[in-house]
Amino acid sequence: MKRALILFSALLVAGFVLTPGWTSLADGADFWAWRRQAVVLTGYVGFLAMAFAIVLATRPVRLEPWLGGLDKAYGLHKWLGIIAGISLSLHWLAIQSPHWLTEAGWLMPRARHGHGPHGGFGLMGLARELGEWAFYLLLILGAIALIKRIPYRFFHLVHKALAVVFVAGAFHAVMLMPDSWYAGPAGWLVIAVAMAGCAAAYVSLSGRIGATRRLTGKVESAELGAGGLIDLRLALPEPGLPHKAGQFAFLCFDGQEGAHPFTIASAGDPRHPRFAIKPLGDYTRTLPQRLAAGQTVEVEGPYGCFDFASDGAREIWVAGGIGITPFLARLDALGNEGGGRRIIDFWYCTKNAAEGAFPVDLESRCARAGVRLHRVIAERDGHLSAKKLADEIDELGASRVWFCGPAAFADSLRSGLIAAGLRREAFHCENFAFR
């Protein structure tokens, strides 16, 4: 994500520096010249950030490897949305500042000659009005998207509405862009990005996100286990869901609500994938009452780059609770291949013994895959720390760590293991906090 943000920043700076207008600030420019460039720059940054965010919302598979997975793309999408909100707020403040300063008596009104672009209500006036209302809606919808207590069904609708906001913003940006920009790289970039963003908005509004990666199947079984854990098995038509161990898919049951991501917990049979779902959020808590054998399910995927690609001498797996799901798929894959080719230690961390009872055949699956299992039960052993883990591992610098679990646990292990000698790029985890 950092690499993408650096590229985005470089693109902004390069485009703006090569555009006429900013150089006039070096020659004793007055308030109005500075204000004009502030309006242009903040609008430019905000518009490009919003455009790139909406493109990422379409789940572009070809960008996944470069971004490090769809989870990283969604993280970038979130931060681009925040950057857009801040930049466009500054844009609005820069536009409104002369009015406030004039009313306060700190600025003399600027005389206008003729109507110029402000007169009447043609395309320019329409673009101005649409831009202002789009900004207000962006702030409201953006706040709703960031408040995690708001149910997912509203969050899903908000993201649809943001596509409409972007189209209005694109019209505002292209129509009110300075004339001199049309002959420069920043103007070309704005037009190209507006077209790409509007295409992405169409994909979102028409319900075509992930359409080429969808198929419809049935719930084969949905068994409720200890701690309310749902062991879900699907029956899909050909070709099923070919995937790599560690990837995930979006599931939507009977069209009840927007699709949700769940890690695929099996390997080797794409027509009968298995999922282990823990009721944690407002949506998943209702699934035990919703799911039944024979029910229709729409599957979209697979996605993700948590693929266990490794060049280290040994692998370290750490699962926290329901984070065991990608490792189950990898255990099946290694078992089908006759076992792993390197040393693999698997730490499975749970709050209590009952939570660690899933799956019942974990020991035998680990033995078949040639993986050494270490159970860490918090009530008995305390929490697994980076120090405890580092003390157990020889050649930490030649290892790769694959982690799936709570974000705070990941942050603690990552920082501690890196301090103990693990290479920064050797720690892999996925972030399912898509909001």
Q: Which domain holds residue 228?
A: 213-303
Are residue 293 and residue 340 in the same domain, yes or no? no
Evaluate whether residue 435 is within a structural domain. Answer: no
Q: Which residue is it, tokens 């994909």? A: 203
Quote the tokens at residue 283: 């949506």
Evaluate whether residue 192 is within a structural domain. Answer: yes
Which domain CATH number covers 252?
A: 2.40.30.10
Residue 211 to residues 74, 114, 261, 303, Cα–Cα distance (Å): 18, 52, 15, 13
Q: Which residues contact 416 (CB under 8 A, 6 or more apart)?
A: 385, 386, 387, 389, 390
d(CA 260, CA 434): 10
Are residue 120 and residue 20 in the same domain, yes or no? yes
Are residue 57 and residue 174 in the same domain, yes or no? yes
Are residue 276 and residue 390 in the same domain, yes or no? no
d(CA 38, CA 44): 10
Please report, as a single letter, which amino acid is at residue 199.
A
Are residue 280 and residue 340 in the same domain, yes or no? no
Which of 151, 170, 205 terminates a domain? The answer is 205
What 3-state DSSP class applies to 256? Answer: coil
d(CA 124, CA 367): 70
Which of 277, 303, 329 terminates a domain? The answer is 303
Are residue 42 and residue 96 in the same domain, yes or no? yes
Are residue 22 and residue 133 in the same domain, yes or no? yes
Which domain CATH number covers 80?
A: 1.20.120
Residues forming a β-bridge with 276: 231
Evaluate whether residue 264 is within a structural domain. Answer: yes
Q: Which residue is it, tokens 């206008």? A: 112
Cα 407 to the center of its chain, rounded Å? 14
Per-residue pLDDT of the chain (435 residues; tens, 9 = 90+): 666 777 777 777 777 777 766 666 666 677 888 888 888 889 999 999 999 999 999 999 888 888 888 888 888 888 898 999 999 999 999 998 888 888 877 877 776 544 444 445 688 889 989 998 999 988 888 887 777 666 666 667 777 888 999 999 999 999 998 888 887 788 888 999 999 999 999 999 998 999 999 999 999 999 887 667 888 999 999 999 999 999 999 999 876 656 888 999 998 889 999 998 887 776 777 788 888 899 999 999 999 988 887 777 789 999 998 899 999 999 999 998 888 788 899 999 999 988 888 888 999 999 999 999 999 999 999 999 999 999 988 888 889 999 999 989 999 999 999 999 999 989 999 876 655
d(CA 409, CA 320): 8
Are residue 34 and residue 174 in the same domain, yes or no? yes
Are residue 299 and residue 323 in the same domain, yes or no? no
Evaluate whether residue 332 is within a structural domain. Answer: yes
Q: Which of 264, 335, 331, 348 is nearest to 301 (CA)?
A: 264
Q: Which residues contact 235 (CB under 8 A, 6 or more apart)?
A: 217, 218, 219, 220, 271, 272
Are residue 74 and residue 175 in the same domain, yes or no? yes
d(CA 49, CA 142): 13
What 3-state DSSP class applies to 74? Answer: helix
d(CA 71, CA 82): 17
Which of 303, 326, 347 terminates a domain? The answer is 303
pTM: 0.84
Evaluate whether residue 416 is within a structural domain. Answer: yes
d(CA 358, CA 328): 10
The number of distinct structural domains making up the chain is: 3
Evaluate whether residue 309 is within a structural domain. Answer: no
φ, ψ of residue 244 to 5 degrees: the values are -95, 150
